[in-house]
Amino acid sequence: MTLIKSNVNVEEQAMEAKKASKKLLVLSAEEKNAALLHLANVLEREYETILTANEKDLANGREKGFSDAFMDRLSLSQERVKDFAEGLREVAKLDDPTGNILLDWKLENGLQVEKVTVPLGVIGMIYEARPNVTVDATGLALKSGNAIILKGGSSAINSNQAIVDVIHKGLSETKIPKEAVQFIASTDRAATNQLFTMKEHVDVLIPRGGGKLIQAVVENATVPVLETGVGNCHIYIDKEANVEKAINILVNAKTDRPAVCNAAETVIVHKDWLAQNSEALVDAFQQNGISVHGDEHVMSVIPGAVLAGEEDWANEYLSTDIAVKSVNDLTEAIAHIETYGTKHSEAIVTEDSKAAQTFLSLVDAAALYHNASTRFTDGGALGFGAEIGISTQKLHARGPMGLPALTTVKFLMKGDGQIR
């Protein structure tokens, strides 16, 4: 059973968020941190309420035959709720990103100029079957002084509503107004489309999910978009790659959490390395249940591999399937990434420092790795606390977006009667 509200007034919610964002501007870092710590405690205390609602979404998912990967992203447990709470505590420990003087100087006429970080204002967050985003995005928004409007996917609507109810309960006991967190509890696309176009109330939209969702937001929104991207991530195993490192990195990047955007979807292998180490690679695939879609050369080397089509090179499998491409050199590997990559996360495994530097210099992506797994493209793993998404664009923010990405700047001029 899915919770659907037909009387949702998105414009009214946006107006309330805008008013609340003004109240957030006058709160101290200590007051915001105290609110986040209180929310963490309330979430842990109310976990049963959240899990009861989540079970409704899971039952709906089972009825509709959602994939295992999708169900994993949707599923909550007491431990995962504790992780939500711990994420809020980690965000509370971070420095306040607002009110920082980035530059200051004095003009010849005595006018003092400061460039200062300030909140964006109101963030519209549009996402799919990840209830954790409801908490992560809320924590980051409030810490950075922003109000947030949450529009989750219909598959998690009961879970998200319960989480927001708990957040509102907690905020009512803090200095942060509960109106700073709005949830659009409707599966009506008209409600989402309305959010896309309210420039007078919403300052930025952040879509987080599959390619179709992101494309829909980018193509239809009149509100500025901080674009996150899908993750067709590659690992290139160079001819000078250490066998143990290559296998460990590949297995981790593919199997640790196959359904996330920083998991590896394609491994590119130098033919010389493959010729010498095919047995180790085959063992790794078989022991970890990885299904291979390869080119003709790969099929001749790896038993059970199926022929990869054009769609495989571009596919974000989000499963234990992987595409395997054999190449003659580094140039060919980079060209393949340039053609099929999504500018998310790309890795090279090699002991050749020159090859590594060439890869890091020429590959265009938000995150690049030498001898490490792509799974580190994550706000928490990089020390940002939680993240609100991973940007694959180049304007304003790129890569995992933590607190600094949720701010903009003001120029403050202080004078003593100067005129021009």
Least confident stretch, 156-160, 227-231, 272-276, 357-361: 227-231
- Residues above pLDDT 70, as percent of the chain: 98
Strands 321-327 and 291-294: parallel
Residue type, 216: A
Residue 112 has pLDDT above 90, yes or no: yes
**Which is it for strands 147-151 and 321-327: parallel, antiparallel or unpaired?**
unpaired
Indicate if the pLDDT at residue 5 is higher than 70: no
Angle at 264 between CA 261 and CA 269, to 5 degrees: 155
**Which pTM was predicted?**
0.85
What pLDDT, on the 0 to 100 scale, is given for residue 3? 45
Over residues 257-291, the pLDDT tens digits come to 998 899 999 999 999 999 999 999 999 999 999 99
**Cβ–Cβ < 8 Å for 286, 384:** no
Positive or negative torsion for Cα 248, 252, 255, 258: negative
Query: What SS3 state is found at 371?
Result: coil
Q: Which helix (H) or strand (E) holds 117?
A: strand 112-119
33-92 per-position pLDDT tens digit: 999 999 999 999 999 999 999 999 999 999 999 988 789 889 999 999 999 999 999 999
Is pLDDT of 117 > 50?
yes
Instruction: Among 18-22, 28-32, 73-77, 345-349, name the one with the lowest average pLDDT.
Output: 73-77
**Number of alpha carbons in the 13 Å side-chain half-sphere of residue 270:** 20
Q: Helix or strand or coil: residue 197?
A: coil
Residue 246 confidence (pLDDT) above 90: yes
Report pLDDT for 2. Answer: 42
Q: How confident is the model at residue 385 (pLDDT cuts 50, 70, 90)?
A: low
Closest by Cα among 410, 343, 415, 363 to 116: 410
**% of residues, the chain, pLDDT over 90:** 80
Please write the tens of the pLDDT for every residue from 148-166: 999 999 999 999 999 999 9
Of residues 386 and 351, more confidence is placed in 351
- Quote the pLDDT of residue 119: 97
Tokens read off for 207: 């879509």
